[in-house]
């Protein structure tokens, strides 16, 4: 047994490939048929919340909660086991063997328990030689494994794509996934077949008839950039979904704690509108009432499970605002108004642009609030930042008995603590039939704030499709911390016969900024006020790899690797509030080596409206340009990149990096230490620094190497086996790391990709403490692996004593040679 607790690995994430020819999939010998998944599957999978920490008790307890909480009655029926359920080696007969510690009654015992609850059991496999966590894969064992799972009573197979030995062609993907389809058919037990190849080979073009669902994206993460990116990738694929063949944008993160309730409701709403599988990925044993309410919203679930089986069509998608239209079996339409921007926005669509038939008006039922209103020609709502409003809409012949749809939109510039004068602008719009009477608008900010109306806040009458504009001056008390603060807006009005009144509410989340603290700081540790980037988000401490967040590598300019910086693509702009307190910005700039360009880029640093430093044209492969900008007295800092036209007359998105940018504020001198201070523990400049394997090596080893380094001229080449090992050192004298909060090391993965994890030994007994999750790095890519102390767990009775660190280890797997450098603490 290898040292360390059970650990987890996230599945590899790849970008969707460009257009390729789509070979036809072979016809199945015994098609499982759409009856297996006439509607998108609903259930649970342990991966997002538990990773490799899966066992019999967790699966059975989850099945119990499905029944007791009402989730089973709402439609959740599959209880799915993900990676790490088996032993590391196959049995003597070649069969997969369940880990007897995790599953003392075997998978069949768990299946019997789950089936006894009226539920179904899912299992995990891999179309390669090893699973993503290094357990046996099914490549070359398809028939045996399918018979094994069928014999255990498995009802659902998630079939992953790690260690796939692929030549990268679409034909190979079709071949490998069709082999398992045929094996399932031959095994004689119907199983829902979930193809999990991350959208790499455009499975929506070939997988119908092979599986019932297929992943369209890389792995989801519990954060807003990940959710936004996956929606953007999956929403346009609506022509490819239908009964028995579904686009799968990955499992639900709802309840895992890193997003807001508004963002989680968007998650649930957009998955339902996209007819996506609803696979819960949180610990239901500790789920909050809000989490259960989101997951259990029957009206949203009904949209997802509608028997017509249509994925919502993208009606419009502009400037971060998207409208989806999903026809339903009873003739209604679900209309989603999605706001991916960072501020309140009014999102709307003409009813004539949807599939709704022409009518005098339309009834709109809000599937989150239950409110019912009517609109004459436009379906709209004031949608909060990162929010989604879902209406169930039907034609209405007698609109005058239903309250009108009234939107309250608003905008407000960035607020500065201790100042007044910012203008809050609100617009009340009547979208219903009939006239509004005696409209009154109010705005309420946090305690101590002043909101002074600068226009009348009332209007006598407001006809259909007419608006009332109101403004206030907003004052923020001195000392208000930087952050986001809600302002509530309410419009009250009369409608219909005398005596009828109603109100419409919205919430604007305002942003308060304060100047940076004294000292030299890495700019990536300071939150910008806003940023705009041509492709995907601005990346912190890595290059911009594409539309998804976190998909780049370490910034590399002309062969030099940087661990700090900002990755952008032209055209881009990042804005910071300085408040006149900062004096200097120093940075290197250049076009990232990972994305060579024939088009030059220009980098400009603005102090307010003045260009304080500019690079001039920079070409791919140029030595990094060093810029120093004088920011003395500036209120705002802006970083701007621009590119040429690539010979087509249209701007070209060039991968531009701000490498190692350092901001100097207060009385700090440029040569003062840069915060947060970092202490390097191992840099491998003089050798391997005593590094070795924690477990008996299986063709594994370490050697100093100049091939990859982020500190000095050398790093460490690490040769791993497929199953992986812990690599590190036990220092002669215990290390005192008191006061440090974060462990980091830099990694460049080999040709198979790898996972990275950090563990420490503490105390005289050398007790082993480690984090619960691995971080995947794609083949050939590089990144900084980070673990906060709160991520590191120790065995029962052991305290993480950082004053007595007796060993430091990193985990790498999947075989091949990987490179690491600069293990450090901050």
Higher pLDDT, 723 or 315: 315
Q: Where are the beta strands (DSSP E) in 497-552?
A: 501-513, 519-522, 530-532, 539-540
Q: What is the pLDDT of residue 225?
A: 86
- Determine which one of 99, 126, 155, 219 is catalytic: 219
Q: What's the rounded mean pLDDT across residues 198-206?
A: 95
Task: Judge whether 325 and 374 are in contact, CB under 8 Å.
Answer: no
Which pLDDT band, with edges at 50, 70 and 90, does 794 fall under? Answer: confident
Higher pLDDT, 134 or 74: 74
Q: For 232-250, what is each residue's pLDDT tens digit?
A: 999 999 999 999 999 999 9
Task: Judge whether 783 and 744 are in contact, CB under 8 Å.
Answer: no
- Determine which one of 126, 160, 541, 711 is catalytic: 160
Nearest to 773 by CA among 3, 52, 46, 11: 52
Helix 106-116 crosses helix 56-69 at what angle (to 10 degrees)?
Answer: 10
Query: What does R_g of the chain's alpha carbons equal in angstroms?
Result: 28
pLDDT value at 535 more than 70? yes
Q: What is the pLDDT of residue 28?
A: 38
Which pLDDT band, with edges at 50, 70 and 90, does 537 fall under? Answer: confident
Q: What's the rounded mean pLDDT across residues 490-496?
A: 97
Domain 317-513: top CATH class = mainly beta
Q: What's the rounded mean pLDDT across residues 633-649?
A: 80
Q: What is the pLDDT of residue 636?
A: 97
Lowest mean pLDDT segment, chosen from 185-199, 272-286, 633-647: 633-647
Q: What is the pLDDT of residue 262?
A: 97
Q: For 211-237, what is each residue's pLDDT tens digit?
A: 999 999 989 989 898 899 999 999 999
pLDDT value at 481 more than 70? yes
Residue 365 burial (10 A CB sphere; 0-12, 13-18, 19+)? middle
Q: For 119-159, what is each residue's pLDDT tens digit?
A: 999 999 999 998 988 899 999 999 999 999 999 999 999 99
List the structure tokens of 504.
């419409």
- What pairing do the DSSP bridges indicate for beta strands 625-630 and 582-591? antiparallel
Q: What's the rounded mean pLDDT across residues 659-675?
A: 95
Total residues found in the chain within this entry:
826
Which pLDDT band, with edges at 50, 70 and 90, does 773 fall under? Answer: low
Q: For 148-157, what is each residue's pLDDT tens digit?
A: 999 999 999 9
Residue 277 burial (10 A CB sphere; 0-12, 13-18, 19+)? buried
List the structure tokens of 114.
């789950």
The answer to whether the Cα torsion of 170, 173, 174, 175 is positive or negative is positive
d(CA 790, CA 792): 6
Query: Catalytic: 530?
Result: no
Q: For 424-475, what is each residue's pLDDT tens digit?
A: 999 999 999 999 999 999 999 999 999 999 999 999 999 999 999 999 999 9
d(CA 236, CA 252): 19
Task: Using DSSP, state whether 271 is helix, strand or coil.
Answer: helix
Q: For 592-639, what is each residue's pLDDT tens digit?
A: 999 999 999 999 999 999 999 999 999 999 999 999 999 999 999 999
Q: What is the pLDDT of residue 599?
A: 93
Nearest to 82 by CA among 117, 46, 37, 38: 46
CATH number, domain 519-675: 2.60.120.1060
Q: For 711-749, what is each residue's pLDDT tens digit?
A: 999 999 999 987 788 999 999 999 999 999 999 999 999
d(CA 495, CA 432): 10
pLDDT value at 371 more than 50? yes
Query: Catalytic: 793?
Result: no
- Give pTM, 2 decimals: 0.84
CATH topology of domain 679-825: Jelly Rolls (2.60.120)
Q: What's the rounded mean pLDDT across residues 110-117?
A: 98
d(CA 247, CA 402): 37
pLDDT value at 19 more than 60? no
Q: What is the pLDDT of residue 165?
A: 85
Q: What is the pLDDT of residue 815?
A: 79
The domains spanning 519-675 and 679-825 adopt the same CATH topology: yes
Q: What is the pLDDT of residue 651?
A: 58
Which pLDDT band, with edges at 50, 70 and 90, does 288 fall under? Answer: very high
The torsion of the CA quartet 473, 477, 483, 485, rounded to 10 degrees, works out to -50
Task: Judge whether 55 and 102 are in contact, CB under 8 Å.
Answer: yes
CATH topology of domain 34-308: TIM Barrel (3.20.20)
List the structure tokens of 351.
């009813």
d(CA 512, CA 201): 45
pLDDT value at 8 more than 90? no
Instruction: Tell me the domain boundaries of the chain.
Output: 34-308, 317-513, 519-675, 679-825
Q: What is the pLDDT of residue 772?
A: 56
On average, the pLDDT of the chain sits at 92
Q: What is the pLDDT of residue 10?
A: 32
């Amino acid at each position: 047994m290898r040292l360390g607790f059970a650990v987890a690995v996230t599945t590899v994430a790849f970008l969707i490939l460009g257009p390729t020819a789509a070979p036809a999939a072979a016809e199945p010998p015994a098609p499982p048929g759409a009856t297996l998944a006439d509607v998108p599957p609903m259930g649970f999978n342990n991966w997002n919340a538990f990773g490799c920490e899966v066992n019999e008790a967790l699966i059975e307890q989850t099945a119990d909660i499905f029944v007791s909480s009402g989730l089973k009655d709402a439609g959740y029926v599959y209880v799915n086991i993900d990676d790490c359920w088996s032993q590391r080696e196959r049995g003597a007969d070649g069969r997969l063997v369940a880990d007897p510690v995790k599953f003392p009654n075997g998978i069949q015992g768990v299946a019997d328990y789950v089936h006894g609850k009226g539920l179904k059991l899912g299992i995990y496999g891999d179309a390669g030689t090893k699973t993503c966590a290094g357990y046996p894969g099914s490549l070359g064992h398809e028939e045996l494994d399918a018979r094994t799972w069928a014999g255990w009573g498995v009802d659902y197979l998630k079939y992953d794509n790690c260690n796939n030995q692929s030549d990268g062609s679409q034909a190979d993907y079709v071949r490998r996934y069709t082999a398992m389809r045929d094996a399932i058919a031959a095994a004689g037990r119907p199983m829902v077949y979930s193809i999990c190849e991350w959208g790499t080979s455009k499975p929506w073009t070939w997988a119908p008839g092979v599986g019932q669902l297929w992943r369209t994206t890389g792995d989801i993460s519990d954060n807003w950039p990940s959710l936004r990116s996956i929606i953007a990738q999956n929403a346009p694929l609506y022509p490819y979904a239908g009964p028995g063949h579904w686009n799968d944008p990955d499992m639900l993160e709802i309840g895992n704690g890193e997003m807001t309730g508004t963002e989680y409701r968007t998650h649930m709403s957009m998955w339902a509108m996209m007819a996506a599988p609803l696979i819960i990925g949180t610990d239901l044993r500790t789920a909050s009432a809000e989490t259960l309410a989101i997951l259990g919203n029957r009206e949203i679930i009904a949209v997802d499970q509608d028997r017509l089986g249509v994925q919502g069509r993208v009606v419009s998608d502009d400037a971060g605002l998207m409208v989806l239209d999903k026809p339903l079996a009873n003739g209604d339409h679900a209309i989603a108004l999605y706001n991916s921007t960072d501020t309140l926005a009014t999102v709307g669509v003409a009813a004539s642009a949807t599939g709704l038939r022409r009518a005098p008006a339309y009834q709109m039922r809000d599937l989150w609030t239950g409110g019912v209103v009517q609109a004459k020609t436009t379906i709209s709502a004031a949608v909060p930042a990162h929010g989604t409003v879902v209406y169930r809409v039907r034609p209405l012949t007698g609109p005058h008995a239903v309250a009108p749809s009234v939107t309250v939109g608003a905008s407000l510039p960035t607020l500065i603590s201790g100042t007044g004068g910012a203008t809050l602008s609100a617009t009340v719009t009547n979208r219903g039939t009939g006239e509004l009477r005696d409209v009154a608008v109010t705005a309420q900010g946090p305690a101590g704030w002043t909101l002074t109306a600068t226009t009348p806040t009332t209007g006598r009458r407001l006809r259909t499709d007419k608006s009332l504009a109101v403004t206030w001056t907003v004052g923020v008390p001195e000392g208000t911390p930087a952050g986001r603060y809600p302002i509530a807006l309410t419009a009250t009005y009369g409608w219909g016969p005398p005596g009828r009144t109603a109100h419409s509410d919205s919430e604007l989340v305002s942003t308060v900024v304060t100047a940076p603290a004294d000292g030299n700081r890495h700019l990536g540790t300071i939150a910008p006020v806003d940023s705009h980037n041509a492709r995907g988000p601005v990346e912190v401490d890595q290059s911009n790899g594409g539309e998804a967040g976190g998909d780049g590598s370490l910034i590399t300019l002309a062969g030099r690797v940087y661990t700090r910086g900002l990755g952008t693509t032209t055209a881009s702009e990042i804005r910071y509030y300085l408040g006149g307190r900062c004096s200097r910005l120093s940075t290197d700039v250049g076009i990232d080596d990972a994305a060579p360009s024939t088009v030059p880029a220009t980098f400009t640093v603005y102090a307010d409206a003045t260009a304080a430093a500019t690079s001039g044209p920079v070409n791919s492969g140029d030595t990094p340009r060093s810029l120093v900008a004088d920011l003395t007295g500036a209120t705002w800092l802006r970083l701007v990149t621009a590119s040429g036209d690539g010979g087509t007359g249209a701007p070209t998105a060039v991968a531009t990096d701000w490498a190692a940018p350092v901001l100097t504020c207060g009385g700090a001198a440029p040569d003062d230490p840069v915060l947060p201070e970092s202490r390097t523990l191992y840099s491998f400049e003089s050798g391997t620094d005593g590094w070795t394997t924690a477990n008996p090596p299986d063709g594994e080893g370490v050697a100093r190497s100049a091939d990859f380094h982020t500190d000095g001229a050398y790093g460490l080449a690490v040769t791993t086996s497929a199953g992986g090992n812990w690599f590190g050192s036990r220092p002669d004298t215990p290390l005192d790391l008191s006061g440090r909060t974060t462990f980091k090391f830099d990694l460049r993965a080999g040709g198979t990709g790898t996972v990275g994890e950090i563990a420490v030994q503490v105390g005289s007994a050398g007790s082993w403490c480690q984090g619960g999750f691995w971080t995947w790095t794609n083949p050939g890519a590089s990144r900084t692996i980070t673990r906060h102390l709160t991520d590191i767990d120790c065995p029962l009775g052991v305290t993480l004593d950082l004053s007595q660190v007796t060993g430091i280890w990193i985990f790498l797997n999947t075989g091949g040679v990987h490179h690491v450098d600069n293990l450090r603490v901050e």
